[in-house]
Amino acid sequence: MHLAYPAVLSALLFCTGLYGVLARRNAILVLMSVELMLNAVNLNLVAFDVWLSKTAQDTLHSGQALTLFTIAIAAAEIGIGLAIVLAVHRNRGTADIDKLRDTAEGPDTDGPDDGPDDDGSDSDGPGSGGPEAAAARPVEKAEATA
């Protein structure tokens, strides 16, 4: 068998997995697409190992050994990734990646801003308490200096 057949199949599988990673919104489908990409790499490793073993007399089958390591790492990655997705789904109620983009930052529920912003300025940006807090702020500054 020619090397071109498994190489073309591997390229098609990898491109399908890449499209799935870039276009999907569901985290589980993204993990399945990553697994598809890893399987394309495994197919390439085994195909090149078989192709190179025909030319060498004593082979180590290093492509097949790397494939076994890749399968073990992929299984661990899928297990941990699925556990993370399930934990996020329990907490947030969705596995949609676009809705989970700002998981580290929650909504600003602190109320009026009593101090300087993150950049050190005391601006009236979003979350600063509205016009009532802005009108009361000069009085607070005057009281603080007296």
Give the tens place of pLDDT for each residue, 40-67: 999 999 998 888 887 776 677 888 889 9
Other beta carbons within 10 Å of 38: 21
pLDDT at 98: 81
Tell the burial category of 81 from Cβ atoms under 10 Å away from its Cβ (0-12, 13-18, 19+): middle
Asked if 125 contacts 117 with a C-beta cutoff of 8 angstroms, the reply is yes
Which tops the pLDDT comparison, 126 or 12? 12
Structure tokens, 130: 């509205």
Q: Give yes or no for residue 38 having a pLDDT over 90.
A: yes
Could you tell me which of 53, 50, 43, 45 has the C-alpha nearest to residue 9?
43
CA distance 76 to 85: 14
pLDDT at 107: 59
The whole-number average pLDDT for the span 73-85 is 92
pLDDT at 144: 54
Which tops the pLDDT comparison, 74 or 133? 74
Structure tokens, 47: 């195909």
Other beta carbons within 10 Å of 33: 19
The whole-number average pLDDT for the span 118-134 is 54
DSSP 8-state symbol, 104: S
The whole-number average pLDDT for the span 63-85 is 91
